[in-house]
Amino acid sequence: MSEDLFSQDIDLDKMPLSSRNIKSVLSINSDVIFREINVCGKKSFPISLVYVDGMVHSKTIADNIIKPLMDNDKLCDVRSEKEIIDRIEGGIVYAPAMDTRKSIRDALFDILTGSCALIFDEENIAVTFEVKGFEQRAITEPSEENIIKGPKEAFVENIRVNTAIIRRRLKTSDLVIEQTTVGRRTLTSLGIVYIKTIANDSLVRELKSRLDKIDIDGATGLSFIEEYIIDNKYNMFPQVLATERPDKLSRHLLEGRVGLLIDGIPVAYIIPSVLSDFLRASDDYSQNFIIASFTRILRYISLVLALLLPAFYVAIVTFHQEMIPTELALSIAESKKGVPFPTFAEVLFLLASFEVLLESGLRLPKSIGQTVSIVGALVVGDAAVNAKFISPAVVVVIAITAIAGFTLPNQDLSYVVRICRPILVVFSSILGLIGLTYGIIYLLFYLALMETYGIPYFAPFSSTDGKGLRDSIIVSPPSSVIFRPFMLRPKDKRRQR
């Protein structure tokens, strides 16, 4: 993956590995350190040491690499660089991870990813040692997926820390973590995580195939990776599940899914993911299954309310007043006195205002963002009602819709619901309940056609012959969930014997 690491003006394949050539590529950089070391104090065997300051642990280099080379008497009788290399490979230098590089491209890759290199000019060889030591954020609580009972740790930006967290949770030799690189210039490390005795081989191969096809300058954000691993990039519905919780990733790995860790991003992807996965919360598996089932059913009801309530209100108020109880109809009619806009315009205006308030709250500093959202909603809403721009009934409907939307545990799904709401309102404003029905049918038809890695997006509600429904709408007791999800076609189908 490192073929295009350097400028096209430099033909690395024709350059022999030497300290002079390394300097010609990197010497312009102020953070690249070059130092000459005399083995055992002899000037006849100078070795060039190269590393990037800030990416390595300087004390480790001094104590474990430089000191043994300069002070160890066992190196005083060497007669050639070949003997020095042999003794280094034999363990005279105290380094747990070491590689011998014969091409300048590989040596430069190691240096720029946090290793130090000893350059032997006569042999055209570099011995590199992994001594990463850059600063990193400590493991903290999840910021978006907090739970009352359960683990309080989240992924960080360092991929090695993240793989260690997963290893600590899944202490099995069947856990496989394969590494690849994406981005010609950023060389972003990706970790493909799966349990080889559970995950379907075709799923792992498909993910690797999609990652191998990525050919971009840099992967600096989630979207640069996500677009290439999903089935349809023009589909706004989330097709892979992102999580910042190691326990959540571990649970899905045990079901037969594959995880994707990205260096520099404290989030893991879970592949494949279907619609029901975005309505699960980590809390579902940390409390009594009866309580968890109640909250999950509440989430499904909230999804329907958040998506359809504004459109349903527009339909019955505009076209089907006979469906409204008399007293309620009179109340709505009274509240609309003096309002110059039709109902659908009120609803669309208030939905747009709500989105603006949400966005402003996200972009402002945390200390005032939430306050501005609350105060803005109260003040603007009350002023709009008093000024007869909108009716109180519409405010109530949009408030219920907003609260229902906040119960959705996944933000990607929440964004889709917020986009679909005004579209359904427009359908209802044209044909009433018939238009709303057409909109719902089209949406269901669209979702029914969707697949992710060959799995229907509506699974396990479709194409599974009723299998896998045990942990879908309701949460089953752990002792009764004997089989893994049928739709994933895992190698080992049983969770418990």
Higher-confidence position of 465 and 374: 374
Residue 438 confidence class, pLDDT cut points 50, 70, 90: very high
Tell me: pLDDT of 257 over 90.
yes
Residue 367 confidence class, pLDDT cut points 50, 70, 90: low
SS3 label, residue 230: coil
> Mean pLDDT over all residues of the chain?
87
Cβ neighbours for 57, distance < 8 A, ≥ 6 positions apart: 131, 132, 133
Contact present, 454 and 210 (Cβ < 8 Å): no
Cβ neighbours for 476, distance < 8 A, ≥ 6 positions apart: 289, 470
Q: Which amino acid is present at 377? A: A
Q: How many residues does the chain have?
A: 497
Q: In this predicted structure, what is the pLDDT of residue 55?
A: 87
SS3 label, residue 139: coil
CA atoms within 13 A on the CB side of 7: 5
Q: Which amino acid is present at 196? A: K
Q: In this predicted structure, what is the pLDDT of residue 461?
A: 81
Q: Has this prediction a pTM greater than 0.95?
A: no
Q: In this predicted structure, what is the pLDDT of residue 1?
A: 41
Contact present, 259 and 193 (Cβ < 8 Å): yes
Cβ neighbours for 339, distance < 8 A, ≥ 6 positions apart: 346, 388, 389, 390, 391
Cα separation, 448 vs 319, in Å, equals 30
Q: In this predicted structure, what is the pLDDT of residue 10?
A: 61
Cα separation, 478 vs 85, in Å, equals 56
